Structure formats: structure tokens, C-alpha cells
Structure 1
Amino acid sequence: MDRSETTYTRLQKFIDKDMSMSHIYQPVILAYLLEHQGEASAEDLAEAILLHDDSQLRYYRGIVMGKPKSVLSKHGVIETGPRGSSRFFLKGYDELSPSERKRLQLQCEIQLAEYIEKRGKEAIFAHRNHSREEVSGSIRHQVLVGAEYRCQLCGIPASEKALEVDHIIPVNHGGTNDLNNLQALCYSCNAMKRDRDDTDYRNWPAQYEKREADCLFCHPAENQIEVLLENELALLLKDNFPVSPGHCLAIPKRHVETYFDLNPAELNAINALLHERRAVLMEEDPSITGFNMGTNAGASAGQSVFHAHIHLIPRRDGDQDNPRGGVRKVFPDKADY
């Protein structure tokens, strides 16, 4: 270090040229120290990083909007805003005096303290911990690099959701910290897996790249099939033989034969494209009043291209004399009921 440098110029140079921006950690830590008299505990810094982690907020928002909301509403403790709203209102709040509010708040805090004492704070959030400290930093780094900083089940990148190093064979079932027993999962997939499952997801990144040389849908551009929408795991294609204007197909990028071979991440990706395309069609064409959706699985069901695909077919009033029965018309004599 040049001794003639001031602290300001040294830090300015570090921030401009040397600070690693592979993640948010270094600038958050430095900014916090600058704001808090130059010192902080690891816990303080962890909380500062947490403020920037929207994935954690989404996780707990999902918790809040689930059973807690349902139970509190059922017992008449709260009411919520219009359908789809995330606003909570304590029923009768204005009827409480300030002292009554304080006493009720204290009751809640006592209940909370007793619960934590009984269960232990570590046990309460064990599902969010997953024994991270059992794996050394260098091994953890190798696992995440090997996974290309993506969850090896759902494919989500570390920039969108925190990744955890998971034991394929759980430690309490004899699993070790050997690199071959570790995989990268986002906290949601890891929480669902828990310690009862030894599924190995490390091959999924390669599986997502699976294509067949002679498959129409594996190579849409080469087969003059227009791609309308795309996300990480799926495509939405224009149907070259539409049964109605706007007819399109949602497919996985990975080559699998039928709908039943799709994994949850691919189903989510396909559903997202179907919803997005439906909204566009409805906006562009006010004559659309409904949709048929369906998939053919197997030759006996009419499948002709053996790459899983889901049809989205716009419908309009009067496009058929008798639309009743919809997809039941695969058996025409049983469509009317």
C-alpha cells in the first residue's frame, strides 16, 4: 500500500477497481461499516445483506399468506383487503386503548418467548439452516461452481434465490461431506427435499440440454417453426397447422416424449408461457372468448410429434355450431352429455 495515500483514496480505489462484484456481499458490508462508525458484528452484516434478498421476503410472504392468514381470518382476528390484496387489518383495532394494545402486545411477546425457550431458536428454523457449517467454504465453493450457481433441481440462479449445499445422502443417514455427496439446491427445493430423500439432482443441468437430432421441436428454427416466447426451460411455438387463429404450442426445451415426463420446474416454465401468451392473445383479439388446452400422450391418443407439447387453442363465440363437450370430442359420440 502506498503510505502517501489517504484512507479515502485507498477505499475509493478499492471500490472502483478491486472490489469483487460476483455478488452483493462486499459493497453491502463496506457500506454498512461506513454508516456504523466503522465496526459491526457478523450478525449485523448478515442482517444488512438480508435486506437486499428479495427471495427471502417472497418466502416469508408466502408463509404469511398461507395458514397464518387463514387461521386468523377464521377466528375473526383479522380481515384482509379485496381479493388478491396483501393488506391485513386487525379487527376492532380502533376500539382498543393504547394501554390495552400494549398489554395484548406483551401477551404475544410472552407467548413467543415461551415457545422459543421450549423449542429452541435453532430448532424453529432448522428447515432454513440445513447444516451449512458442516461443509467447508472451499468445498461449498466447488459445489456451487460445479452447478454453475443454479439450483440443480429447479434451475433458478443464485442471483434470484439463495443456494444451499445439500447432502444427497443425509448426514443422519450416514452421508459424508465428500464432494460426490453434495449438490446445490435453492432453499425452497432443499426445504421440500428435507433429510428423508436421497435424490441426486446433479445431472439435471445436462438433462436440460438434451435434444434429438431428428425432432421437429428440438430444432424449431431449422424446421421453419416460429418461436413466439421463451424462458429458461420452455418455448412457445406458433402452430404451423392451426385449428384456429392464434393456435400455439408450449414445449420444454429438453427432449421428453410426453407431458408426464416433465419435471416440476418445466411445468412451471410452460405454465408461465401459456399465461403470458393467453394475456397477449386476449389483448390483441377481443373476439376470443375462451380457450381449449390439451396434450396428446402416446400414439393411441393421437400424438404425432413425440416431443411433449401442450396446445393452446383460442375459441370464439360461433366458431363451432355446438362447442359443448370441448376436449371430450376426442370421442365425438360422447361429447354431448
Structure 2
Amino acid sequence: MPSTQNQTTAIQTIPATEANTTTEPPAPVFHVGVVVFEPFDEDLKDEKSPKFKNLAQRITAVFDMLYKEAFGALFIRSYVIAFRVPLASRIRMNATEAEVGLEFNKTTPLVELPRNEDVQKTLAAAIDSHSNNTILNVPFSPGSVQVLRTPLPTTLPTTNSTETTIAPNSTTTPSSTVKPTTKIPPTVEATVTRKLTFRSLGETFTTDLLNPSSAAFKNRAALIKSNLEPLFQREFSTLRDFIVTSFSNGSIINNMDLKFSAAFLPTNIQIAEVLLKAASNVTAFNIDTASILVDDTPVSSGVSHNISLITALSMVLLSWLLSNQQ
């Protein structure tokens, strides 16, 4: 009888493969600033305080409703980042500025995210359309909506760029069938800058307004930008930048540069009309409508009226001449 041999089966242990530790990209978030007519309180600096939680809950309810309706599944949620005293607090002491984060789906390609102006207009238009600028019992300040930070790059990536890559250990030798790496550079947007000037009649000029590094210059520049930039953004979707450049004596003369996309450049009169309409609503500073200049050319309510009158008289004269020739 043959002897039975014990057969031992060897078990080979395969080392576990290290888990991939690739970090997912963060969700794209827009930071939006808006002023609400709620008295600022020191407790609003503490995100754990009841006052912070109450006001944050009311504001995010408005944001969630508006942006979910506007962008659907792309929009995830809103959350309050901070409350602070607005720059114009010395004019309106019962106001609070809220900085709110708008989180969008992390899988959304950059080219499919809303533009900055669309994010700004969604809230701004809703505020303007509601009675007393109040939405869900939150009283907003019209014209105060700003996009403070954006996940969008200065130039969005193009979808028609091509690239050919050869693996590091490939034995393939360069030949006519292998294309070299080719990248089509993104198109740089052409822009045009317009200089806008107006006088704040009755306001006192101080020499520190000549120094761009001074607190007085920075505070006034921020005040003008926060009040006027949203108005120009609402009127012109092609506005790319709004920079307060200098101040000079004569009550106070305010100078700023407005950068527009060359795809649509508003006329001098269209630019001035935004300021003319703002003159009766902006209370943080005075806008003398008779002093408005665009690229150092006078464009004011009086100038526009005079131009219209001259045009009308010319038409009457032309009509009279034509009738006499018949």
C-alpha cells in the first residue's frame, strides 16, 4: 500500500497595494458681499453667538432660494463667512455688511460655472424687484452687491486646445506619425479704458487725499467703488474693472478708470447716464451732475439737453429749407 504523502499548499501573501491618496479639488466658491439694514453688533463677530446664527440663517435662506432657482443643480449651498461694519457706516449706522460663500458642485467644469456678473446680478436684480428691497424679511441695501472673490481664473481654459503625450518608458521613436505637443494659447480679451470724473460739491478736500497710501484716500476710494461699481456692473455686463485713481481739490474732484471689454463699449453718454441716475440715490457722497466728464469731455444733464435742443432746431431748419425748395 503506497504511503500517503502530506501535500502542503503554499499560500503566497500578496502585499496590499497602497491606496491612492489623490486629493479631490475643493468645491468652487464665490464670495459675495452685500449690505443689510440690520444694526451691527459685536456679537456678530462671533459665529457661535445667537445673533450671528439668527442673521446668518435668515440671509442664507434668501441666497439658497435665489441661487437654487437661478442655477439649479449646479448650486449646492450658501453660508455666511463674516459680518462686519460697512464702509459707509458713518452715513448709515444701522447697517451690517455680510460676506457670503456660494458653493457650487465640485464636478462642474470652470467653463460651465456662472460668470461673476451673473452671480452679482442674480441677487441685485431680486433686491431691486422687491418692495422696500426686502426679501424674506431681510432688508437689503440696493446697489451694495459685490463679488469679492471668485473661483474663476482671469482667462478661462479653452476647449479646443490639443496635446499629445508620449509615455516615459515608451519605446516609440519620434516619427512623422507622432505629433509634437501642441497647445493653443487662450484668447486674451481686448479691453478699453474710459476715464470718468465728477465733482462732490460742498465736500472738503484734504491734502492726504493726494496720497494713495493714506487711510483717507483708501477709505474714500472704497466708498466710491462700493456704491458705484455695482450700478455700472448692472448696466454693462462688459465692465471688467472699476478703479478709483485720484482725487483733486475743487470741493473734491473724483477720478476713476472704467475698463470695458472691446466687444461692447458703451458711449460716453451711456456711461454718464449711470452716474446721473445714481446722483439722487447715493447718499454716501455728493455727485454734481453738471460736472461729469468722460475722457475729459463734459457729459452732463445740461450738456445732453443742449445737444438734444440743437438737434431739434437743426431738424426744424432742414425741414424749412426743404419745403422752400419745392
Query: Which structure dedicates a bigger proportion of its chain to strand?
Result: 2
TM-score, with structure 1 as normaliser: 0.24
Query: Which structure dedicates a bigger proportion of its chain to helix?
Result: 1
TM-score, with structure 2 as normaliser: 0.24
